[in-house]
C-alpha cells in the first residue's frame, strides 16, 4: 500500500469501484439525448443541416443555399465536367472521371511486364452520370474500381482444333470448346467446327485421316487410275484410226479422180481419132464417085 500511495495511486475498495461505474453510466445517459438531438433523423429525401432536415437536390444539381424556416433548399445545376448521380445535399458537384491508361497485361506467363493502353469511354460524362470506361476492342477488364477499369487482358485466342463457344467483349473473356469427333477447326476462329470430307466410295480412297485441326485427305483409287489410263489409250487409238481412214479415203479419191480424168481424156482422144477416120473415108468415097461417073455415062 505504501509503495502505491507513494506514486499517488490508491486502491479503492470494491464498493467504491461500483459507485464510480454507476456515476459514469448516469453521466453518459444524461448526455445521450443531447447527442441524439444534435444529429436529427431525416427521411431519405432529406439531409441534416444542424438540427433541421432540408430537402435534397435532384440529380444533376447541388446545394447553393440550405433551407431555412421560410425558404426551401436552393439548388443550382452542376457546371460542365461535374455531376451528381443521386439526390444529394452536396455543396459542390463531383468532378467527372477520366478514362486513364490501364495496365494491359500480357499472357499469364508474363504478367509482370504490363503495357500501357488507353481505355475507351463508352458512356460520356453528363450532369447526372459519371464517365464509364472499358477496355478497347479485343480486350476485357479483369480489375475494376466502380466504373473505372484498372487492368485489361487480351481475349483468349482459341487454338486449332477448338471453336469459339462465346465471343469475348469488354467485360468477359472468349470461351473456347474442343471440336467433337468427326469435325475440325483449322485456325480456332470458327463458331462451329467443320465436318470431315467423306471420300467417294470407289472413286477415292482416304490417304490421310482427319484430326481436330485438319480435314481428311482423299486421293484417287488405283483402279480408277488404271481405268482412266485404259480409257485414254482407247480414245487415242480410235482417233488415230479415224484419222488414218479419213486420210486413206482422201488419197483414194485423189487417185480415182486422176484415173478418171486420164480415162476421160483417152476416151475423148479415141472418139476424136474415130471421127477423123470416118470423115477421111467419106471424103475418099466421094472423090471416087466423082472420078468414075463421067466414064460410063450411058450405064
Predicted pLDDT at 191? 94
35-95 topology per CATH: Tumor Necrosis Factor Receptor, subunit A; domain 2 (2.10.50)
Provide the whole-model pTM. Answer: 0.47
Cα distances (Å, whole numbers) of residue 283 to 223, 273, 277: 89, 15, 10
User: CA triplet 268, 269, 271: central angle to 5 degrees?
Assistant: 65
CA dist 178 and 163 (Å) reads 6
- Architecture of the 102-219 domain: Ribbon (2.10)
pLDDT higher than 80, residue 2: no
pLDDT at 148: 73
Does pLDDT of 116 surpass 90? Answer: no
Residue span(s) of the chain under CATH 2.10.50.10 come to 35-95, 102-219
Q: CA-to-CA distance for 62 and 93, rounded, in angstroms?
A: 6
- Residue 227 and residue 213 in contact, taking contact as beta carbons nearer than 8 Å: no
Coil/strand/helix, residue 57 = strand
The neighbour count for residue 220, using CB atoms within 10 Å, is 14
Q: What is the mean pLDDT of residues 50-60?
A: 93
pLDDT band at 281 (very low <50, low <70, confident <90, very high): low
Q: Are strands 82-83 and 94-95 parallel, antiparallel or unpaired?
A: antiparallel
Could you tell me the CA-to-CA distances from 79 to 60, 95, 190, 244 in Å, in that order? 9, 9, 49, 102
Confidence category of residue 3, pLDDT binned at 50, 70, 90:
very low
158, 167, 205: which is closest to 185 by C-alpha?
158
Block residue for cell numbers 445545376:
77
Mean pLDDT score across all residues of the chain? 76
Indicate the Cα dihedral angle 113, 118, 123, 127, nearest 10°.
110
Amino acid at each position: 500500500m505504501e509503495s502505491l500511495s507513494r506514486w499517488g495511486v490508491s486502491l479503492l475498495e470494491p464498493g467504491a469501484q461500483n459507485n464510480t461505474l454507476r456515476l459514469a453510466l448516469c453521466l453518459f445517459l444524461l448526455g445521450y439525448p443531447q447527442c441524439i438531438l444534435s444529429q436529427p433523423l431525416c427521411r431519405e429525401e432529406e439531409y441534416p443541416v444542424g438540427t433541421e432536415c432540408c430537402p435534397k437536390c435532384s440529380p444533376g444539381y447541388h446545394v447553393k443555399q440550405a433551407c431555412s424556416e421560410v425558404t426551401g433548399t436552393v439548388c443550382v445545376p452542376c457546371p460542365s465536367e461535374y455531376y451528381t448521380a443521386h439526390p444529394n445535399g452536396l455543396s459542390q458537384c463531383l468532378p467527372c472521371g477520366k478514362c486513364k491508361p490501364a495496365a494491359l497485361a500480357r499472357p499469364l506467363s508474363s504478367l509482370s511486364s504490363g503495357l500501357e493502353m488507353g481505355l475507351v469511354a463508352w458512356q460520356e460524362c453528363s450532369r447526372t452520370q459519371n464517365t464509364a470506361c472499358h477496355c478497347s476492342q479485343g480486350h476485357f477488364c479483369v480489375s475494376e474500381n466502380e466504373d473505372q477499369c484498372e487492368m485489361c487482358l487480351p481475349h483468349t485466342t482459341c487454338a486449332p482444333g477448338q471453336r469459339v463457344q462465346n465471343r469475348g467483349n469488354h467485360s468477359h473473356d472468349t470461351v473456347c470448346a474442343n471440336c467433337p469427333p468427326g469435325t475440325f477447326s483449322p485456325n480456332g476462329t470458327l463458331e462451329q467446327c467443320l465436318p470431315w470430307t467423306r471420300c467417294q466410295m470407289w472413286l477415292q480412297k482416304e490417304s490421310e485421316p482427319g484430326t481436330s485441326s485438319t480435314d481428311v485427305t482423299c486421293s484417287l483409287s488405283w483402279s480408277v487410275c488404271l481405268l482412266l489410263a485404259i480409257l485414254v489409250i482407247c480414245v487415242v487409238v480410235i482417233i488415230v484410226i479415224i484419222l488414218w481412214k479419213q486420210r486413206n479415203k482422201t488419197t483414194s479419191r485423189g487417185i480415182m479422180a486422176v484415173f478418171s480424168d486420164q480415162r476421160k481424156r483417152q476416151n475423148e482422144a479415141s472418139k476424136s481419132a474415130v471421127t477423123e477416120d470416118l470423115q477421111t473415108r467419106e471424103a475418099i468415097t466421094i472423090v471416087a464417085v466423082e472420078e468414075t461417073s463421067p466414064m460410063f455415062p450411058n450405064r
